Amino acid sequence: MPEQTGPLAGLLVADFSRILAGPYATMLLADMGADVIKVEGPRGDDTRTWMPPVRDGVATYYLGVNRGKRSIALDLRDPADAEVARELARRADVLIENFKPGGLAKYGLDFDTVREANPGVIYSSISGFGSGAGRHVPGYDLMVQAISGLMSLTGDPDGPPYRAGISVFDVMAGNHAAIGILAALRHRDATGQGQHVEVNLLSSALTGLVNHSSAYVAGGTVPYRMGNAHPSVFPYEPLPTADNDLIITAANDGQFRKLCEVLGIPEIADDPRFARNADRTERREELRPILAEQLRKRGALEWFDLLVEAGVPSGPINTIDQGFAMAERFELDPVVEVGGVPTTRHPIRFSETPVSYRLPPPELDEHGAELRKWLEDKGD
């Protein structure tokens, strides 16, 4: 195992999760220096088989969220393997799992049992719908996109509801789990006490709907599908140019004035119909063709450079490869190679304790022999 560095160096994480939310959280922890041991069943994480696309015969889905970890394959139905798992849980600073609530109890790996042997453990559970009345419902991101209401907001106003292009709530729940784990570790540093950190996809979804959630709970308004438009700001959507659509987000009066100046129609910013954001939002159907007429005089990338230079937020609608190219242009270095496997850079930069990329995504049970030897020795 390469030397651990980073803000979480010295932390041992037992990762009993699979697919996306949990593995994403533990990859973030691994990048920050934690020693993450990925516990897999004999067939491995489901995402090992989610292909295409592949790289060297391995699913890129799996590769995308599993760097920095060591893998051990354990059949929890086997008493000897279950004992190895319990010993790992006894030694761990953090245990993270996304079994159905209560699903690990029969193996002696539920929070209460683990805490008896390891009082300082931070035990993080990720579920679809919590450990109460929704505990029996399996949790998949697409289900939660539907149940939470997100799909009712996604798509054209007159078209069918759509899912987001990624498993957005899995990623969000993974982030929430990582945040909760770090907060619980802070508490343990102060008190010595471990605790149970519970995250569920539906709660992550409802808080992640932000202004739409607030529109309902605080304003009694049920939001509806508006395509790419924003319910409270205009312009804040794609607008046509001479070649491709361009996202323009003039979210305040000052930005709108700068937009009008760049487009060569400064008088529009003083037009009482459009002077304030509320006016522009109410009269968007009047304003949109005025802006589009000017935008059609140049291409999207040319306008992008002019608008950004003037301080107007905007952006071309890229494909994924173009998005990575733009990140390179902005010197964000979005790709890091780990053991010959290209992966996406950790999103946080630390000035004093930088992240590190020590291990490529592991093969199934790649580190099983060394980990079994270590865990079968009951000493610390």
Helix (H) or strand (E) holding 16: strand 12-16
Q: How is residue 299 annotated by DSSP?
A: -
Which of 84, 86, 111, 87 has its CA nearest to residue 97? 111
Helix (H) or strand (E) holding 322: helix 320-329
Our CA dihedral for 316, 318, 321, 326, rounded to 10 degrees, sits at 20
Strands 69-73 and 35-40: what pairing? parallel
Measured distance CA(294)–CA(52) in Å, rounded: 43
Query: How many Cβ atoms are within 10 Å of 324's Cβ, its own excluded?
Result: 15
Measured distance CA(154)–CA(308) in Å, rounded: 28
Clarify whether 170 is annotated catalytic: yes
DSSP letters spanning 210-260: HHHHHHHHTT-------TT--SS-SSEEEE--SSS-EEEE--SHHHHHHHH
Using alpha carbons, list the distances in angstroms from residue 215 to 49, 163, 203, 225.
41, 21, 17, 14
Q: Is 91 helix (H, G, I), strand (E, B) or coil?
A: helix
Measured distance CA(359)–CA(31) in Å, rounded: 10
CA angle 316, 318, 321 (to 5 degrees): 145
Q: Is 373 exposed, middle or buried (0-12, 13-18, 19+ CB in 10 A)?
A: exposed
List 15, 45, 141, 170, catalytic entry: 170
Q: Is 73 helix (H, G, I), strand (E, B) or coil?
A: strand
- For the chain, first and last CA: distance in Å? 17
Measured distance CA(144)–CA(146) in Å, rounded: 5
Our CA dihedral for 20, 24, 26, 31, rounded to 10 degrees, sits at 150
Q: Name the residues annotated as catalytic.
A: 170
